[in-house]
């Protein structure tokens, strides 16, 4: 079945200025490679969304935060940034532009608009797979932004599906190398969302949250599952985590929709992270998510934005999406695989992590006992 890929050239406005790790040319490089290697034909259809309106943003943000973002980032894009004494109240320092950024706030609204369109397309029955290029801003919170994220489209997608379409069980799978602290904060007490986050050990990387023992609160206890992988965990570690924890949880939870977010930063050559996925590993991961989605009739939203090695990013994204959409495409490794990543030397440590996940969650899930 044809998939929808949501993309507009203007998404490249989501960049923080020259010299900043997050650049907007990532989207163009991916789309160019996708169309070169896999013409649309019957595989996918590119569609354009409209930016979110204020009422959409209010589902996930306070009004004063929205007002600050609009004023500050519009001023920055015009080349003038005055003294904003409230900057640290609303944004972390890594969200401060270096030089002149793009139309960041407008592009952040576009990302939310794509998330809204993805939900509507999925629930209308027009598509079973929808990919939002530029989505996955999982560090953003209700009252603040951080980690290169301004508005959290992951949270918006789940809330929108629950509110508009009355869904009772939404599974959010975060495969970004960094823990999704913003998304976790939104859903830690929500009984309708199973949030599974597989990421690098938070003791070794930003944002320093996402430990195995963080399982949610109140009505959401047991519905936040953190799989904190050891440094250099590679293909075998991810495969084991999917087969022994993630897939069993999905089968027991029986989601009505799956939302996945995350880009290329688990790659061994990312630069900002220290995991060990290869390009082939991304396709495996995408295929596992596709297998999960069979539980809910194939219904999946995929949000993809992250990654910090420009030459690796489009190939890892393409491999991941090939797995998600079951495209007849094998993507080559763009850099030589170092000896230490030819085999997953972290697998034994990963097995210990999975044992800890079972220990903290066995009271909530039969499949983990």
The model's pLDDT over 34-47, given as tens digits with 9 standing for 90+, comes to 999 998 888 999 99
Gap between the Cα atoms of 54 and 270, Å rounded: 35
Q: Which long-range contacts (CB under 8 A, 24 or more apart) does 220-223 make?
A: 220/187, 220/188, 220/189, 220/190, 220/191, 220/193, 221/364, 222/361, 222/363, 222/364, 222/365, 223/187, 223/190, 223/191, 223/193, 223/194, 223/195, 223/364
What is the per-residue pLDDT across 213-239, written as a single tens digit (0 to 9) for each?
999 999 999 999 999 999 999 999 999
DSSP code per residue over 245-290: IIHHHHHHH--SEEEEE--STTBTT-SS---BB-HHHHHHHHHHHH
Q: Mean pLDDT over residues 81-107, rounded?
A: 88
pLDDT at 193 over 80: yes
Helices (H), the chain: 25-37, 54-57, 63-77, 87-90, 104-124, 153-165, 181-187, 235-241, 247-253, 279-293, 313-325, 339-342, 347-361
Question: How far is Cα 256 from Cα 292, in angstroms, rounded to an integer?
Answer: 11
Kindly indicate the confidence band of residue 307, based on its pLDDT and cuts at 50, 70 and 90: very high
**pLDDT (tens digit, 9 = 90+) per residue, 120-163?**
999 999 999 999 999 999 999 999 999 999 999 999 999 999 99
Q: How far apart are CA 114 and CA 36, in angstroms?
A: 23
Domain residue extents for the chain: 3-11+26-49+115-368
Rounded Cα gap, residues 130 and 346, in angstroms: 33
Rounded CA-CA distance 259/155 in Å is 10
24 CB-near residues (< 8 Å, 6+ apart): 11, 12, 13, 14, 15, 102, 107
86 has a pLDDT exceeding 90: no
Residue reference for tokens 């993309």: 7
Cα 205 versus chain centre, distance:
17
Distance CA 37, CA 330 (A): 10
Pick the CATH number of 3-11+26-49+115-368 from 3.40.800.20, 3.40.50.720, 3.30.1600.10, 3.90.1150.10: 3.40.800.20
Contact 30, 318 (CB under 8 A): yes
**Residues carrying an active site annotation:** 139
What proportion of the chain, given as a percentage, has pLDDT over 90? Answer: 91
Q: What is the pLDDT of residues 103-122, one digit of tens each?
A: 999 999 999 999 999 999 99
Using pLDDT thresholds of 50, 70 and 90, give the confidence band for residue 82: low
Helices (H) and strands (E) in the chain, counts: 13, 8
Token couple for 88: 């640290």
The Cα 91–Cα 101 span in angstroms is: 15
- Other beta carbons less than 10 A from residue 21's beta carbon: 12
How many Cβ atoms are within 10 Å of 321's Cβ, its own excluded? Answer: 26
């Amino acid at each position: 079945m044809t998939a929808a890929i949501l993309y507009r050239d203007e998404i490249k406005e989501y960049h923080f200025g020259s010299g900043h790790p997050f650049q907007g040319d990532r989207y163009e490089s991916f789309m160019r490679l996708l169309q070169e290697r896999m013409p649309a034909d019957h595989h996918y259809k590119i569609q354009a969304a409209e930016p979110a309106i204020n009422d959409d943003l209010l589902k996930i943000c306070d009004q004063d935060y929205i007002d600050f973002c609009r004023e500050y980032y519009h001023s920055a894009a015009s080349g003038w940034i005055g003294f904003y004494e409230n900057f640290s109240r609303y944004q972390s320092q890594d969200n401060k532009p270096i030089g002149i950024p793009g139309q960041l706030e407008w592009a952040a609204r576009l990302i939310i608009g794509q998330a809204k369109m993805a939900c509507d397309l999925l629930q209308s029955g027009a598509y079973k797979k929808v990919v939002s290029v530029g989505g996955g801003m999982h560090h953003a919170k209700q009252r603040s932004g951080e980690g290169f994220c301004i508005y959290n489209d992951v949270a918006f997608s789940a809330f929108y599906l629950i509110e508009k379409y009355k869904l009772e069980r939404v599974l959010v799978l975060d495969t970004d190398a960094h823990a999704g602290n913003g998304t976790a904060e939104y859903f830690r007490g929500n009984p309708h969302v199973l949030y599974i986050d597989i990421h690098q050990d938070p003791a070794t990387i930003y944002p320093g949250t996402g430990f195995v023992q963080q399982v949610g609160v109140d009505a959401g206890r047991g519905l936040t599952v953190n799989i904190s992988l050891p440094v250099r965990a590679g293909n075998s570690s991810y495969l084991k985590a999917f087969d022994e924890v993630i897939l069993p949880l999905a089968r027991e939870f029986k989601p009505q929709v799956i939302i996945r977010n995350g880009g290329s930063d688990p790659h061994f050559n990312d630069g900002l992270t220290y995991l060990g996925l290869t390009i082939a590993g991304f396709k495996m991961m995408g295929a596992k998510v596709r297998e999960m989605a069979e539980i809910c009739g194939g219904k999946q939203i995929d949000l993809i934005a992250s990654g910090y090695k420009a030459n690796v990013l489009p190939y890892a994204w393409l491999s991941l999406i090939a797995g998600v959409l079951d495209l007849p495409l094998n993507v080559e490794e763009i850099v030589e695989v170092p000896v230490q990543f030819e085999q997953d030397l972290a697998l034994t440590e990963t097995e210990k992590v999975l044992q800890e996940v079972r220990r903290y969650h066995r009271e909530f899930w039969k499949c983990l006992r």
